[in-house]
């Protein structure tokens, strides 16, 4: 072995060894990951994501993936000659639209995520919130049509799949008591599922670096904050509009037993591995207890 190769090899080995205490810490823990944005659009990042999630499964963690797919719904609607309409940022969803949403989310986005994960091992199973009573909803507002708010999560199907060491991938279609399908906000679903599973962690992959103290001032990126802090941010109007559903879901999940939440930059390759298996935390961590600032970017 040449000296250079030896040095390279040593560097590699140290990085692997560095992961050991984290693997030990997270073994057997459940992590709910809201997947979306650039990390889902880019073929390369999507493959990185798949590698990361499979690696988490392989080292004994229980990852659960939740995804929506607004752009894909819009795209299919337009191909079918139907113009999307929004009220206060919520898609107006008539019976035909919820059918289209289902085709786009379950028949396209969910499939692509499952296939991508299964390129690295046969672990992923696609689910819709309609399966086995997983996501129960009620109508948010008659004007929006079939847009639902989560009323209950029945995690038993997830427990069964996790017991068989499979990776659930959940498309966020919910069902009301009559069996009618609804489109549901994926950020809210991720939080509710984390809560129902008593997850160790709830992770949002986003297209920003994290949470900013003074959005959009990039210097104001917050490394760590707690649930009270997040609530203050939202109350003060300092949070960006797009971030609010995530932050609200974080707060609720943390108030109900989830240990920690993370807002990660999904544009960073292998963001999950970096967060879980290296000293370099990335993005914003939300918890009740502050770790020393020095540890964070």
Q: Which residues are catalytic?
A: 34, 37, 70, 187, 246
Is residue 273 classed as helix, strand or coil in its secondary structure? helix
Site string for a second copy, 86-115 (x = CB under 8 A): -------------x--xxxxxxx-xx--xx
Which of 38, 75, 125, 229: binder of a second copy (CB under 8 A)?
Answer: 125
The torsion defined by the Cα of 93, 94, 95 and 101, in degrees rounded to 10, comes to -30
Q: Minimum CB separation from a second copy for residue 88, in Å? A: 27
Instruction: Tell me the closest approach of the beta carbon of residue 255 to a second copy, in angstroms.
Output: 28
* 213 sits near a second copy (criterion: CB under 8 A): no
CA atoms within 13 A on the CB side of 152: 7
Q: What 8-state DSSP symbol labels residue 122?
A: S
Site string for a second copy, 25-64 (x = CB under 8 A): --x--------------------x--xx-xx--xxx----
Cα–Cα distance measured from residue 281 to residue 292, given in angstroms and rounded to the nearest whole number = 12
Give start and end residues of each alpha helix (H) in 36-176. 38-41, 43-58, 70-79, 95-104, 110-118, 156-163
From candidates 3, 4, 16, 289, binder to a second copy by CB under 8 A: 16
Q: First-to-last CA distance in the chain?
A: 36
Residue from 70, 84, 229, 269 that binds a second copy (CB under 8 A)?
269
Subset of residues 153 to 182 that bind a second copy, contact rule: CB under 8 A = 154, 156-157, 160-161, 163-164, 166, 173, 175, 179, 181
The length of the chain in residues reads 297
Q: Whole-number minimum distance, CB 36 to a second copy, in Å?
A: 18
Residue closer to a second copy, measured from CB, 178 or 237: 178
Question: Phi/psi at 268 (nearest 5 deg)?
Answer: -80, 125
């Amino acid at each position: 072995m040449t000296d250079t190769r030896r040095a390279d090899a040593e560097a590699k080995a140290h990085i692997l060894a560095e992961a050991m205490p984290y693997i030990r810490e997270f073994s057997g823990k459940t992590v709910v990951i809201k997947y979306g944005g650039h990390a889902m659009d880019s073929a390369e990042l999507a493959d990185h994501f798949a590698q990361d999630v499979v690696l988490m499964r392989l080292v004994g963690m229980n990852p659960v993936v939740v995804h929506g797919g607004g752009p894909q719904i819009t795209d299919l609607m337009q191909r079918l000659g139907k113009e999307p309409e929004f009220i206060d940022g919520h898609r107006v969803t008539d019976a035909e639209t919820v059918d289209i949403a289902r085709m786009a989310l379950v028949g396209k986005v969910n499939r692509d995520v499952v296939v991508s994960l299964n390129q690295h091992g046969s672990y992923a199973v696609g689910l819709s919130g309609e399966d086995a009573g997983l996501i129960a909803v009620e109508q948010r507002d008659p004007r929006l049509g079939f847009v639902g708010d989560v009323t209950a999560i029945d995690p038993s199907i997830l427990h069964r799949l996790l017991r068989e060491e499979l990776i659930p991938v959940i498309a966020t279609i919910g069902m009301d008591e009559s069996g009618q399908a609804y489109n549901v906000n994926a950020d809210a679903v991720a939080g509710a599922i984390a809560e129902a599973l008593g997850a160790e962690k709830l992770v949002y992959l986003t297209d920003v670096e994290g949470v900013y103290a003074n959005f959009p001032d990039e210097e104001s990126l917050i490394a760590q904050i707690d649930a009270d802090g997040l609530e203050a941010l939202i109350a003060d109007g300092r949070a960006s509009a797009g971030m609010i559903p995530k932050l609200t879901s974080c707060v609720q999940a943390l108030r109900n037993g989830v240990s920690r939440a993370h807002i990660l930059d999904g544009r960073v390759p292998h963001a999950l591995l970096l967060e879980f298996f290296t000293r370099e935390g990335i993005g914003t961590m939300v918890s009740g207890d502050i770790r020393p600032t020095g540890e964070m970017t």
